[in-house]
Structure 1
Amino acid sequence: MSMTGQDDYLELSTPSGGAIKVRRSSHPRARRLRLTVTSSGAHLTYPEGTHPAQVFAFLRQHGEWLESKLDELHLDHDGPPPLLPGAPTLIPLRGETTQLIWRQGVYPRIELVDDKLVLTLPKPHNEQSLGAARSLLHSFLQAQIRRDVSRWFARYTPELNLAPTGLRIKPLKSLWGSLDSRDCVTLDLALALAPPEALKYVVVHELCHLRIRDHSPRFWALVASLYPDWKTQRDWLKTRGHALKAELGRLIT
């Protein structure tokens, strides 16, 4: 095992003689080591101050699991693999690696069962059922965001003594969120794939615009007063955001 670049990556040797490149990063609020795998690759996060030997040992311990998950994704080309009718795949969901599987059933539905996201659709699983699957995924991801956001609106709006007039959730090309002239908040649907902490930062960011419409030092001071960890989450989105938006694209479009 070795470190590459500016110590942002680890390389794990495989029994077949190959190497797996794993992006690594520390997180000040992390309580445990966490290894996630999506079509953008492997990512290892760990609490600040974790000894390198512990990081290496954790990665070696999960080497076989990591190799098998990457094999499932067939990561031999650029960009996420297409969503295929009936074919299991791995996706990020709330910052965790989640397996998306298909089942046969009379009534279309989507639900979390243990650590799997299960799509139930009538057979045959073909291009027609793929459209239904995308619609179910869209609704499910929206519901995930609304559940969290409703809680955070209730927490932060009393502190600001201001509240948005509404909430829209949809895919956004480059932004993560916005606040329009009528005080309606719009959030990127891809945030359902990110850790809840990253979504929370975007929510706080937009709520603070209810009071201060620019990005002046006064604005960032207000953000920090409500959510001190905002810089970590902003940096996470800058680093991982492109991959999340690509993941959303293959799931719903």
Structure 2
Amino acid sequence: MVRAGDEILELSTPTGSTIKVVKAPHPRSRRLRLTVTPGGARVTYPHGTHPAEVFAFLRRHADWLERKLDELHLKHRGPPPLKPGVTTLMPLRGESVQLSWHDGPYPRIEHREDELRLIVPRPHSRALPAARNLLAAFLETQMRRDLSRWLAAYVPELDAAPTGLRIKPLKSLWGSLDARDRVTLDLALALAPPPALRYVLVHELCHLKVRSHSVRFWGWVERLYPGYQAQRDWLREHGAALKAELQRLTVDGAEA
């Protein structure tokens, strides 16, 4: 927000774009400070700071500033909405595939290498709920194929087994283990590379042995899936985008 007395600086970035930065003194500030919000960038500085010093500070942080603004704008916009009849790209098992719409007498999905073909009756706009349900069912089937194979390997090694396995959209979690030893996994993991899904499964299975996140628990995770840290880090970096993709592709709404 631009307030009375604020100035606007125009900063050229290394990529050739121009960023407008609100420049304002702060009565309690002891140093130059740059902040970025969805509303834009703002630099504050102590009274008496020379304008050249402010501009030099911005120049030093131009790369960071451009990157942060891009990230915020992407998060604010989110992925493009799923539009009936309009081809789009989506992630599947960590790869980008094309999602296309085709006419057919009944709803179904055909998977052809790097393409998912949504076959639905016309008009496509009226078939959108059916298309969303098709995608959710397809993604769950993809997950269960991997999970059944991994469970067969891990259960004997753990000498413990879950009482059930549910897959559904989750708002913030990737998985959970309830008091009845039933595992729940986020449907968004169907969009991630299989090693990330495998890590979450191992994580929840290890809670069958240790309910906390103690050193002993992580020892079990390392034993079953050496090098799991890379997959945990991947989910931390890309998780929000995956969950947003799932929301636009399938039925809206998620549980905690």
Tell me if TM exceeds 0.5: yes
Query: Residue in 2 aligned with 1:149?
Result: 147
Query: Residue in 1 aligned with 2:129?
Result: 131
Query: Residue in 2 aligned with 1:112?
Result: 111
Stretches of structure 2 that go unaligned for 5 or more consecutive residues are 1-14, 18-73
Q: Which amino acid aligns with 2:159?
A: N
1:78 CA drift (Å) = 1.7
Q: Which amino acid aligns with 1:169?
A: I
List, as ranges, runs of 4+ consecutive aligned residues in structure 1 with deviation greater than 6 Å: none
Asked whether 1:99 is paired with 2:102, we answer no
1:16-165 matches, cutoff 5 A: 78-126=77-125, 128-165=126-163
1:111 CA drift (Å) = 2.0
Give secondary structure in 2 for the equivalent of 1:143: helix
Q: Deviations over 1:69-102 (max 9, x none)?
A: xxxxxx8972111000010000000000010001
Give secondary structure in 2 for the equivalent of 1:144: helix
Whole-Å separation in 2 of the counterparts to 1:161 and 1:210: 10
Of the three residues 175, 178, 184, the one matched with 2:176 is 178
1:231-250 matches, cutoff 5 A: 231-250=229-248
Give secondary structure in 2 for the equivalent of 1:181: coil
Whole-Å separation in 2 of the counterparts to 1:181 and 1:109: 37
Q: Deviations over 1:191-238 (max 9, x none)?
A: 000000000000000011101110000100110011012100000000
Whole-Å separation in 1 of the counterparts to 2:219 and 2:75: 44
Query: Residue in 2 aligned with 1:188?
Result: 186
Give secondary structure in 2 for the equivalent of 1:117: strand
Whole-Å separation in 1 of the counterparts to 2:215 and 2:111: 42
1:122 CA drift (Å) = 0.7
Percent identical: 66
Whole-Å separation in 2 of the counterparts to 1:145 and 1:234: 18
Q: Which amino acid aligns with 1:208?
A: C
Q: Deviations over 1:29-65 (max 9, x none)?
A: xxxxxxxxxxxxxxxxxxxxxxxxxxxxxxxxxxxxx
Stretches of structure 1 that go unaligned for 5 or more consecutive residues are 1-12, 19-74
- What is the aligned-residue RMSD (CA, Å)? 1.8
Query: Residue in 2 aligned with 1:166?
Result: 164
Question: How many correspondences in the alignment?
Answer: 182
Give secondary structure in 2 for the equivalent of 1:100: strand
Whole-Å separation in 2 of the counterparts to 1:231 and 1:198: 10
Whole-Å separation in 2 of the counterparts to 1:85 and 1:108: 13
1:114 CA drift (Å) = 2.4
TM-score, normalised to structure 1's length?
A: 0.69
Query: Residue in 2 aligned with 1:226?
Result: 224
Query: Residue in 2 aligned with 1:59?
Result: none
110-119 or 210-219: which moved more? 110-119
